[in-house]
A and B are shown apart, each in its own frame.
Chain A
Amino acid sequence: MTVSELIEKAGFKAATLPEPDKEITGVYIGDLLSWVMGRANSGDVWITIMSNMNILAVASLADTACILVAEDVELSQDLLTTAKQKNINVLLTELGAYEAAVKISKLI
């Protein structure tokens, strides 16, 4: 399933969607950037409550399909502008990480 299909089926909000056709193959949940760097697989939906600029470099280096910011954490305009420039999909949900992961798991 692609990121844009996930948005449609799961009802997540697209904060930025420069790469709608990226294929989703799994999920990784984590907020500690070193763990995410080392453990997330390419194609994962990375679910986090982190919202600072550094998540963009991590998503780009780990090759995740998208970042899914949980718990409706607020995102700065700066982050969204940079995410667009760097071609990084950023999604948003009011769900917690667990509920979001369960939802994705039923779809992929």
Chain B
Amino acid sequence: MSELLKFHFDVDGTDFTSAGQASVQVKKNLRQLGIPPEIIRRVSIAMYEGEINMVIHAGGGEADVIVTETAIEIRLHDHGPGIKNIDQAMQEGFSTATDTIRTLGFGAGMGLPNMKRYSDDIEIHSELGVGTDIIMRVNLT
């Protein structure tokens, strides 16, 4: 599985208003590559949710998007507080978001479920006090 292209982004954890910028850029890049719209849509949704989570729950982080001949892989990395109980966090509606964040339309507890639904494969590694790593793959074939 050879790597054709790689995009790297620093996700700013202090600026709410620009959250989602990396995902919007990835969408543009994938369009230019001629990736099918339905695949782009799934990558965009999965990455946006991951990006937002890094902003609202982890104080920012890094995102890498790797395009190979067979898949698009999204790697998210942060040094936030970590996820205490991943099974619980994966449940629709579970959220620890504050009221302030909810008034902005976030914190519906649908982020991780959306990431799972719209990717073909998701791996989550998280350690309390250390951070969270998430790898998602959307297959091209």
B108 near A57 with CB under 8 A, answer no
B116-138 contacts to A, CB under 8 A, are: 117-118
Given contacts A60-B27, A61-B48, contact A33 B106 (CB under 8 A): yes
Interface centre among B18, B20, B105, B118 (most CB of A within 10 A): B105
Given contacts A38-B45, A38-B118, A42-B41, contact A33 B108 (CB under 8 A): yes
Partner of A61, one of B18, B45, B109, B110: B45
B19 near A37 with CB under 8 A, answer no
A58 to B51, CA, bound (A): 12
Q: B29 → chain A, closest Cβ, in Å?
A: 13
A95 to B37, CA, bound (A): 33
Interface centre among A31, A34, A35, A58 (most CB of B within 10 A): A34
A48-95 contacts to B, CB under 8 A, are: 50, 52-55, 57-58, 60-63, 78, 86
A61 near B23 with CB under 8 A, answer yes
Partner of A52, one of B18, B23, B105, B118: B105
A34 near B111 with CB under 8 A, answer yes
Interface residues on A, range: 20 to 34
**In the complex, chain A residues whose CB is within 8 Å of the CB of B52:** 33
Q: Mark B18-51, 1 if CB is under 8 A from A, else 0.
A: 1111011001000000000100010011001100
Kindly state whether residue B5 has any CB partner on chain A within 8 Å: no
A42 near B37 with CB under 8 A, answer yes
A50 to B27, CA, bound (A): 23
Partner of B24, one of A31, A35, A53, A60: A60
Q: Mark A21-34, 1 if CB is under 8 A from B, else 0.
A: 00000000001111
Kindly state whether residue B4 has any CB partner on chain A within 8 Å: no
Kindly state whether residue B139 has any CB partner on chain A within 8 Å: no
Given contacts A37-B48, A38-B110, contact A57 B117 (CB under 8 A): no
Given contacts A32-B108, A55-B105, A61-B24, contact A37 B17 (CB under 8 A): no
* Residue contacts A-B, CB under 8 angstroms, 9 given: A32-B110, A33-B52, A34-B109, A35-B110, A38-B45, A38-B110, A50-B104, A78-B17, A86-B24
Binding site for A on B (CB under 8 A): 16-21, 23-24, 27, 37, 41, 44-45, 48-49, 52, 104-106, 108-111, 114, 117-118
5 cross-chain pairs, A with B, having the tightest CB-CB distances, nearest first: A57-B20, A34-B110, A53-B17, A32-B108, A33-B105
